[in-house]
Amino acid sequence: MIVTSIQNPDLDDDSLVENVELELLLQAVYLKYGYDFREYSRAHIKRRVLHYIANKRLPNISSLQHELLIEKKCFDELLQELSINVTEMFRGPGFYKSIREKVAGLLKTYPYIKIWHAGCSTGEEVYSMAILLKEEGLYDRTQIYATDFNPRVVKSAREATFPLKYIKEYTSNYQKSGGQESFSDYYRATNSSVIFDRSLTKNMVFAEHNLVTDRVFAEVNMIISRNVLIYFNRHLQNKVLSLFDESLSTGGFLGLGNKETISFSDIAPKYKIIDAREKIYKKSHE
Amino acid sequence: MNSVPAYQAVVIGASSGGLHALKKMLPAIPRDFPCPILIVQHISPVSENYLTVILDKVSQINIKEADEKEPILAGTAYVAPPDYHLLVEADKTLSFSVEDKVNYSRPSIDVLFQTAADAYNEHLVGILLTGANADGSEGMSYIKKRGGFTIVQDPADAESPVMPKTAIMQQEPDMILTLDGIIEQLLKPGFIFPEKKSHQ
């Protein structure tokens, strides 16, 4: 694959060398470990890689490349650096409010609901959705698939345990999302963490899935993938949106982050906008 | 003959007191300003886009909240949205990240400045304004390292002097100017604008 973006004639030599090293590193990661970051937003990846080599006190990207080829542990660490896991329960409460008001009513007409959280990170938004669906009387006939490429966060998400210190903020988000119940009924607190109720986890399946390299695995009625596409270049965004499209049944819903859009993608003509601000779309035809 | 312009983009970082400073500075930029302007103003994560709306109302150049993968064009100022880091790609488009806060900030000035310096190298002007924290210092050093031009607001002129002061201590900028001085410098022929042509 020839990447033209690094062959910028304006670049001074240091900058060019660094970009070449980065390109080779991503190639090496792909060839050795199968994780494909080559079509990620390059500025972002470069920042994370430089951050990692600074912490490891490595002199340059090439030395990181050598080390991770011979040392799996080094790659595992880099993978954590490249996996962004900033999330919260009912993150961007307006999104959940919109799901309650504009989507839940339509889901109620379905006999069975399958939802895919693609890029679920540590699971906060998956549990948020389960709570919302429970309150709407839908959860008992829902199956949630929650996936992420990072095995460590998938394991953590499965445990239904979150730090106690954020619960005040989460409770406030829950209320802003239109939640009417007592949020504390959904978990029990220990000294430092909260554990969510078994009634929420029962219909969840957590699995490793890589949006870049893996295929469709189920037909679903709703896909939630917020602030995942922002890390991909336009070409990869289009590819992943097509994967979402293949997975969604007609009439199904797609929820993205509020700075993400399908408007530049091949799938745009098939979708109508349910909420322009919260980036909720409905697949209107095949 | 036309030569390649020395500078292709201006990045501005501001924190506490920044809204006043930007409200003074941006309206002074004429519509035919030959560079794009990229702005990080620290702002509450839940704030609406009022910053952009206010600035656009009083400015001649187009001021908008940055969009994902948007191409960067001259005559436009792009403002980082609340709760997103704003990054510049090598192909001069904008991208976002919601990774951890940097210097307790998202958007972070350092993130914008470092990625812009990688994209524009010596063709970048970095301007650091008023603020009460240390964001922007690393970014300013990085712009210097890549050969760009740096201007820090005179701490005595800044509503909050800490941010400019911190940057000056870390790395001597090319210029330390008052807000009026910065405006004057940006409009000076031979800097961002080409040298004045002789009368035709």
Residues on chain B touching A261 (C-beta within 8 angstroms):
68
**pLDDT digits 0-9 by tens, B5-18:** 789 999 999 999 99
What mean pLDDT do residues A107-131 have?
A: 97
Alpha-carbon distance A40 to nearest alpha carbon in chain B (angstroms):
11
Whether chain B has a CB inside 8 Å of the CB on A234: the answer is yes
Q: State both tokens at B110.
A: 């350092």
User: For each of chain B's 200 residues, which pLDDT tens digit applies?
Assistant: 455 678 999 999 999 999 999 999 999 999 999 999 999 999 887 777 788 999 999 999 999 999 999 999 999 999 999 999 999 999 999 999 999 999 999 999 999 999 999 999 999 999 999 999 999 999 999 999 999 999 999 999 999 999 999 999 999 999 999 999 999 999 999 999 998 755 54
Q: How far is B144 from chain A (nearest CA, A)?
A: 13
pLDDT over 70, % of chain A = 96
Q: In this predicted structure, what is the pLDDT of residue A4?
A: 46
Residue A256 pLDDT more than 60? yes
Q: Taking a contact as any Cβ pair under 8 Å apart, which residues of chain B between 117 and 136 contact chain A?
A: 118-123
Task: Test B98 with A227 for CB contact under 8 angstroms.
Answer: yes
Give A5's contacts in chain B (Cβ within 8 Å). Answer: 89-91
Which residue from A minimizes the CA distance to B118?
A: A15
Instruction: Give yes or no for residue A282 having a pLDDT over 50.
Output: yes
Which residues of B belong to the active site?
15, 42, 135
The domain in which residue B93 lies consists of 9-187
pLDDT tier at A2, thresholds 50, 70, 90 = very low
A51, A259, A260, A279, best to mutate vs chain B, most B CBs in 10 Å: A259
CATH of domain A93-283: 3.40.50.150
Q: CA of B157 to nearest chain A CA: how many angstroms apart? A: 33
Contact (Cβ atoms closer than 8 angstroms) between residue A118 and residue A147: yes
Burial A200-210 (b: 16+ CB within 10 A, else e): bbebbebeebe
pLDDT of residue B200: 44
Place of tokens 């959860």: A139
pLDDT class of A3 with cuts at 50, 70, 90: very low
Rounded CA-CA distance B50/B57 in Å is 11
Note whether B118 contacts A15, CB cutoff 8 Å: yes
Give the pLDDT of residue A250. 96
Q: Is the pLDDT of residue A8 over 80?
A: no
Q: Where are the beta strands (DSSP E) in chain B?
A: 9-14, 37-41, 62-65, 76-79, 85-88, 94-97, 124-128, 149-153, 175-177
Res A11: pLDDT: 58
Q: Is a pLDDT exceeding 60 seen at residue A43?
A: yes
Number of domains in chain B: 1
CATH code, domain carrying B155? 3.40.50.180
- Domain presence at residue B193: no
R_g of chain B, CA atoms, integer Å: 15
Contacts of B81 (CB under 8 A, 6+ apart): A259, B49, B65, B66, B96, B107
Residue B172 burial by CB count (10 A; 0-12/13-18/19+): exposed, middle or buried?
exposed
Q: Mean pLDDT of all residues in chain A?
A: 94
Q: What is the structure's pLDDT at A13? A: 74
Q: Do B81 and A230 touch (CB under 8 A)?
A: no
Tens-digit pLDDT profile for residues B95-127: 999 999 999 999 999 999 999 999 999 999 999
pLDDT at residue A129 in the model? 98
pLDDT given for residue B196 in this prediction? 73
Q: Which of A52-66, A83-97, B24-38, B44-58 has the lowest mean pLDDT?
A: B44-58
Mean pLDDT of A99-122: 97
Asked if the structure places residue B120 within a domain, the reply is: yes
ipTM of the complex: 0.91
